């Protein structure tokens, strides 16, 4: 990202996508198999201990970026390859 220096947003923008559901909701809604499918392209834990971090528990990053197009310019898009938790 490259900031556009928008004074009305204090020259700031989102630092991530943010959650779409609570950790408790994610644990109730998703299975280990759901998480394994969602993270098939990522080297990470695929067990019950990380279900609260499954990608579907977060907002769609493309929608978040589109909502702040007046604040930032997309310079490069990264693809997650590894995730380390606990």
Task: Give me the active site residues, please.
Answer: 15
The distance of Cα 37 from the centroid of its chain, to the nearest Å, equals 16
Spatial neighbors of 5 by CB under 8 A, at least 6 apart, are 11
Integer Cα distance of 36 and 45 in angstroms: 9
Which residues, at least 6 apart from 70, have a Cβ–Cβ distance to it below 8 Å? 4, 6
């Amino acid at each position: 990202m490259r900031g556009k220096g928008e004074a009305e947003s204090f020259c700031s923008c989102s630092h991530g996508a943010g959650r779409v559901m609570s950790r408790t909701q994610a644990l109730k809604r998703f299975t280990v198999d759901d998480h394994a499918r969602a993270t098939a392209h990522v080297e990470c834990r695929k067990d019950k201990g990380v279900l609260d971090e499954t990608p579907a528990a977060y907002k769609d990053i493309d929608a978040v970026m589109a909502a702040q197009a007046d604040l930032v310019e997309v310079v490069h898009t990264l693809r997650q390859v590894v995730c380390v938790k606990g």
